[in-house]
Structure 1
Amino acid sequence: MKKFVQSSAIAWMLVLPTLGGAADGNMSTGTTTPHPATAGQTPVAPPQAGNPAPEGKGDGAVSGKIVETMNSGGYTYINLESSGKKTWVAVPETRVKVGQEVSCPSGTEMGNFTSKTLKRSFDRIVFCNSPLDKQDADLDAGEKSPGSKGAIVAQAGTVKVEKAAGANAYTVGDIYKNKAKLDRKKVVVRGKVVKVSGGIMGKNWIHLQDGSGSQKKGTNNLVVTSQDLPAVGDVVTMQGTLYKDKDFGSGYKYDVIVEEAKIQK
């Protein structure tokens, strides 16, 4: 199996050197960098002589409240306001909303950047080099924090994924049935990714289903945290440590969760 490595930081590391940090935009040459999903293919040629790319500078954090956001070309553009100052930030597409407090721990500033897909120019924009730190990214105002109840995801169509082979392998349904004896032990689960929430509390939150368990009882969906970032629809095998009754605070309490997972296709 090919090890899956899809973190936002790595995606930007592949993209930024190509066009000086231009994610999906063009300078005056109309060149376009690849979406992170295609990173690793033949790089796009740099701008031609006489049409230099904007100079990237700095590697600092940007934080604030979202006052405007939009998705385009596989990227999310976020206008952050802090102490009356507004700064545009670009990251690989992620779920955010107006009014949410977020921060980019490390970024590269670009000047005179034009997004081809947005058909919009930015005097200044910061390309985030790492996943956003987000507060309650999946919550609307007034909603309760997620946890086991909030993590219930409807059955993603007809899901039927063969159980992983080898030691410590379980189905999603088995995980729930045996959670007491499996607490703090290594487990291996193969399933289909039905939901991903990236960059929350420094980790990616992945929901796996394999067709086992009960949707009514909420035992058909397994929440996994990882630094790896698969895509919705991927069938993956994950290995991590199972915890029962895990409480992260602020309502983030899970009957069952698998932490520090390594994910492979």
Structure 2
Amino acid sequence: MKRLVNLFSLFIVFAALTAQQVGAADTKAGAADKPKAIPLSGKVLETMDGGGYTYVNLQNGQEKVWVAIPLTKVKVGQQLTLMPGFEMKNFTSKGLNRKFDKVIFSGGLANAEKIEMSPSAIKAVHQGVPGAPGGAPAAASKAAPAASAAKAPAPASKTKKVTKAKGPNAYTIAEIYAKSKKLEKKPVVVRGRVVRVSQKIMKRNWIHLADGTGSSAKKTDDLVITSQELPKEGDVVTVSGTLYNNLDFGAGYRYNVLVQDAKFKK
């Protein structure tokens, strides 16, 4: 009996050592397979927007590289430092109708927190959806409510009519939808009531505005706005921002009209 116990003990020790060696081997293999994050910092040589991204041709050290980041105001000649990104080869942008030999996808502008993001997290930030392979961090996973907002407009039709803003570039929400193509990438001013707010999604706040104009059947009575500012639901505000058409954040979530980087005034 004692001999049997000793043999069983030896078996347990052997099994533990074997499992430890296999685990170490798996860790080394995983480290070898993990994509290398590419540091990104330099001068903007060219920039364009499409499909919900801003594409930047960046003088990254000795190399010129194309980088895709969430929609951001960028100017040629500007010095940028971006979050380290991950390369994708033979990438076709439907928004730009252009194929790139390679694009580096980054979470956007670097900040003081020095956030480190995995390839799946980068994907989640760009697509606006959680659940990418490997799991996205909480900050990226919060992208879903913004996308959901595109499919589930606030009950704007119940909003009483709000007096139109005055001055240049002022429009009602119905006029913005009617003239959206002419207003592409142009400043607009609109006055309305805040009917829904989703906070801190993809580093911005998403606000639904209604002014009593437009058609609920045609979905032209609810205007989605992004901003660093945070108005309260129910407030009547005057909004100024830049209008964009046909922004696609992936997973079937698409905004026909979106006002970006808005400022609010009561």
- Give the TM-score normalised by structure 2: 0.47
Structure number with higher relative contact order (C-alpha < 8 Å, ≥ 6 residues apart): 1
Q: Which structure: greater helix fraction?
A: 2
